[in-house]
Structure 1
Amino acid sequence: AVVVTNYLWRPLLPRIVEAVAPGGFLFYETFALGQASVGKPSNPDFLLRPGELLDAVRPVLRVLAFEDGFVQAPHPAYVQRIAAVREAPNASAADRYNLSI
């Protein structure tokens, strides 16, 4: 699995997505636009635009869950989070839709 938290360097994002091995997962959460109203980071270069993380992942990985909004805890923040999988070649339907992983 590839896990990324509180990090955004847009030139690296495609390489992070490509690093997920067949059958592997990506879990990514970082700050989004709106964050400047509640704290740091406030530089828009380090804040995801609406749906940006989803758009970056979707061409390569199958999205299992996506959230884009405001969280109150552990501290107020605007975030985007995604859980996605790179399906293994020749995965059966039972593998593809197995929610017991």
Structure 2
Amino acid sequence: MIEDKIKWNDKYKSAPPAQKPSPLLLAYLERIGRGEVLDIAAGMGRHAKPLAAQGCHVDAIEWSDLALEALEKIPGVSAIEMDLEEACGLKKRYDAILCFNYLNRNLYPLMLTHLKPGGLLLFETFVQDDANEGAPGNPFFLLEKNELLHVFCSLYIIEYKESYIRKPNGQKALMASMAAQKLH
């Protein structure tokens, strides 16, 4: 929806997202190697940049015009304009799929079917918790506790944790982090 595009453009203008990659991604950079990577809701490219720099080809899905402009400037990154709330018509399979700070449960089947055998799924986002201060307010955009473990139980779970993070503004939020591999 065009309203979502406007909302994300405004958000990136008023409060630019973090540029430092997640420690979860950094821990698996070597394992990803130089493969084909899908970065869902890629933002301004904080994960696409280090992946492209090590020789990966990254398909970076985004809806914000500002984010798409930033992604198009990164060598090795193909910026894909797509409203993930509407549809996702990807055909390709990937060595790694990333989803950070974004939740759309309709994409779970896409993640499973578009991950190559041996491929790595890195997923990190907010979890519903009464103590959250810095997580989205709408529960639709929050994981249930252990949700990723249940949804992706067909994958080999390499690591999983739910822990509180402290945002730069001092607010705390419960975050789930998962690395999983498709064995077959």
TM bin, normalised by shorter chain, reads 0.7 to 0.9
Residue from 54, 65, 70 that aligns with 2:164: 70
Residue-by-residue CA offset, 1:51-95 (whole Å, 9 max, x unaligned): 101111112x1000001121225562211110011115xxxxxxx
User: Counting helix residues as a fraction of each chain, which structure ranks higher?
Assistant: 2
Q: Which residue number corresponds to residue 94 of structure 1?
A: none
Secondary structure in 2 matching 1:69? strand
Residues 42 and 35 of structure 1, relative CA distance in 2, 3 Å threshold: farther
Measure the CA separation in 1 of the matches of 2:112 and 2:153.
Answer: 10
CA contact (8 A) 1:62 1:86 kept: yes
Residue-by-residue CA offset, 1:24-65 (whole Å, 9 max, x unaligned): 100000111027731241100000001101111112x10000
Q: CA RMSD in A?
A: 1.9
Q: Identity, % of aligned pairs?
A: 34
Q: After superposition, where does 1:23-42 map in structure 2 within 5 Å?
A: 23-34=118-129, 37-42=132-137
Secondary structure in 2 matching 1:16? helix
Using structure 1 for the length normalisation, give the TM-score: 0.75
Q: Radius of gyration: which is bigger?
A: 2
Paired residues in the alignment total: 87
Instruction: List runs of 5+ in structure 2 lacking aligned partners.
Output: 1-95
Q: Select the structure with the greater relative contact order (CA < 8 A; seq sep ≥ 6).
A: 1
Secondary structure in 1 matching 2:118? coil
Q: Which residue number corresponds to residue 13 of structure 1?
A: 108
Measure the CA separation in 2 of the matches of 1:28 and 1:17.
Answer: 12
4+ residue stretches of structure 1 with deviation over 6 A?
none
Residue from 117, 133, 138 that aligns with 1:22: 117
Secondary structure in 1 matching 2:116? coil
Secondary structure in 2 matching 1:17? helix
CA contact (8 A) 2:120 2:179 kept: yes
Measure the CA separation in 1 of the matches of 2:150 and 2:173.
Answer: 21
Using structure 2 for the length normalisation, give the TM-score: 0.43
Measure the CA separation in 2 of the matches of 1:17 and 1:81.
Answer: 17
